[in-house]
Structure 1
Amino acid sequence: MTTRILFVCLGNICRSPTAEGVARRMGADHDLTFDSAGTSGWHIGEPPYGDMQRAARRRGYDLSPLRARQFDAADFDTFDLILAMDAENLRDIERKRPPGNTTPVRLFTAYAPETGMDHVPDPYYTRAFDETLDLVEACTKGLLKAI
């Protein structure tokens, strides 16, 4: 049975689509499906941020087909695991949890404790696109080992 994993950030144009693209490639040999969403609706239908796409492309990840969408309460029933990029995203996700739903929601960085990071910084603001990729790759490796 395929495990369905959703990555969630604020706008779904930097961190979560990057995690989706990295996980799709790194997890290609696993029975997994990946998607991403944002807690806000600011960028619905937009592709990932250009600078993030360029940084990802340099490492062989193609984010261009991805489009932003907003996280919805129905995602709790669609996915087996929901991974938030930071504590604020996690709180926003939990606010939409339907009563009685038990789908696990965790911080993505929990899968890479060796990094010492408790969140994935938003490169839209930090401009640290390569560092974001480094962290996403480390978290994805940990995730794939844990599943």
Structure 2
Amino acid sequence: MTKILMVCLGNICRSPLAEGILKSKLPEDYFFIDSAGTANYHVGNSPDKRSVAVARKYGLDITNLRGRQFNISDFDEFDMIYVMDESNFKNVIKLARNDDDIAKVKLILNEIYNNQNYDVPDPYYGGDEGFENVYKMLDEACDIIAEKLK
């Protein structure tokens, strides 16, 4: 089974959306997808209501997801770790123990824009439109990831 982790800052906006989107594109018999945050602000919390709403708009239910913090053992548990922005990348890499850990970590939008290192913007402090834009970015990136993995 291939295990994939999506990581953002608080694990209530971007990474739960990415988790839900990728889960909808891959068979659960062969893939395990989870999400985490680099900070501990929202451990145990449900996704942001705006993430839940945009997911629902596209037929996905992420209401059962709960925030958790990324930890070193995630390098052992997961085959691939997708981060949402450069700050998340740096925070995850700081915990890496070796080159094998580092090799698992990728910026998710590099799946669309190879080696451009674009960030998925954090929509938390903005309006609903930001969540819609983030959904579309993640959906496109997850299409590419799913195609590569099938």
TM-score, normalized by length of structure 1? 0.92
How many Å separate the matches in 1 of 2:2 and 2:28? 13
Q: How many residues align?
A: 145
> Are 1:35 and 2:34 an aligned pair?
yes
Q: What are the superposed Cα offsets for residues 66-114 of structure 1, whole Å, 9 maximum, x if unpaired?
A: 0000000000000001000001100000011124643510000011128
- Flag as ranges the 4+ runs of structure 1 deviating above 4 A: none
Distance 1:100 1:109 in 2: 22
How far, CA to CA, are the matches of 2:22 and 2:78 in structure 1? 15
CA distance in 1, matches of 2:79, 2:126: 31
Which residues of structure 2 form unaligned runs of 5+?
none
Distance 1:52 1:124 in 2: 9
Q: Give unmatched runs, 5+ long, in structure 1.
A: none
CA distance in 2, matches of 1:137, 1:100: 29
Match of 2:143 among 126, 141, 145: 141
Structure 1 residues 56 and 101, CA, compared in 2 at 3 Å: closer, same or farther? same
Q: CA deviation at 1:32?
A: 1.3
Identity of aligned residues (%): 35
Q: 1:49 offset after TM fit, Å? A: 0.2
Which residue is equivalent to 2:134? Answer: 132
**What's the offset of the Cα at 1:146?**
2.1
Counterpart of 1:108 in structure 2 is: 108
Alignment root-mean-square deviation, CA: 1.8
